[in-house]
Amino acid sequence: MMPFWKPAKGKTGVLLYLALIHILAVTGVVLFPSPSLPVLGLSLLLACLGGLGTTIGYHRMLAHRAVQVNKVIEHVLVFCAMFNGSGNPASWVAYHRHHHAYTDTPEDISSPKHGGFWWAHLRWLYQSSPADRQKWCPELNRGAHQIWRLAEAPVVLLSLCCGLALGWEGFFWIGAIRLVYSLHMQCFVNSLTHLDHSDTGDSSRNVWWLGPLQLTAWGENWHRNHHSSVGSARLGWHWWQVDIGWYFIRMLEAVGLATNVRRPRTQ
């Protein structure tokens, strides 16, 4: 395995972005350890919207086709996910489908079983080969979703700098600190929820206490459920397994804005 500081070909920009937001986040916490309520509230609101964009828009809707939503809502969810630092939809979906096709084998790009915790958590983002979008998600490599790929850099720049409207405190907390927090809460799905190191079979597991930390992405922590019924839009199968994304989907379904909602095979 290559040194942790060395990016794969074509991934230098990803490494520089990760380094930048972490440096800015640490600086922001040192300079403004106690943000004002408006700044903190807006940071949490944007993180929550981003969580919905990733768990519903990218994961359940685009990657697994477990639900279809109104086109306007679909692109709003995509924007929220990109604004939260999740990358463009074609890239995210290609990586995720690749992961499911080769789960916990040496070909799995983000498995801690073969690369260790930090590989699964962060290093694969800048040390794995770029996702083959044409192979894994050709439907997202054209039309409106191709425009999102071109818009990725401006959206990320807007996300990082929009807090300046509320001063330097807003710049750090609404920008880099929010992005770093959201990044690691997503990365835990690849690392922490894949640490059931049985000798054979799928290493995915449910981690109940991770859910509240993921805000509106609460539900992604039921990762064993997801791997057991990949095509389901519902990740929390029992009443006590909180799944914010599922509740939002059910609300959209109730008002006719979501269709073809797929349930777990076990239900």
User: Partners of 222 in the beta sheet?
Assistant: 206
Instruction: Going residue by residue through the chain, which has 267 residues, state the pLDDT in tens, using 9 for 90 and above.
Output: 788 889 999 999 999 999 999 999 999 999 999 999 999 999 999 999 999 999 999 999 999 999 999 999 999 999 999 999 999 999 999 999 999 999 989 899 998 988 899 999 999 999 999 889 999 999 998 888 889 999 999 999 999 999 999 999 999 999 999 999 999 999 999 999 999 866 557 889 999 999 999 999 999 999 999 999 999 999 999 999 999 999 999 999 999 999 999 999 755
Helix (H) or strand (E) segment spanning residue 68: strand 68-69
Task: Show the tokens assigned to 139.
Answer: 């439907």
Task: Show the tokens assigned to 98.
Answer: 């690749």
Alpha helices in the chain (DSSP H): 12-31, 37-52, 71-83, 89-101, 112-115, 117-118, 124-127, 133-136, 144-161, 167-170, 178-190, 223-228, 244-254
Its pTM stands at 0.95
> For residue 246, what pLDDT is reported?
98
> Would you say 111 and 120 are in contact if contact means Cβ atoms under 8 Å apart?
yes
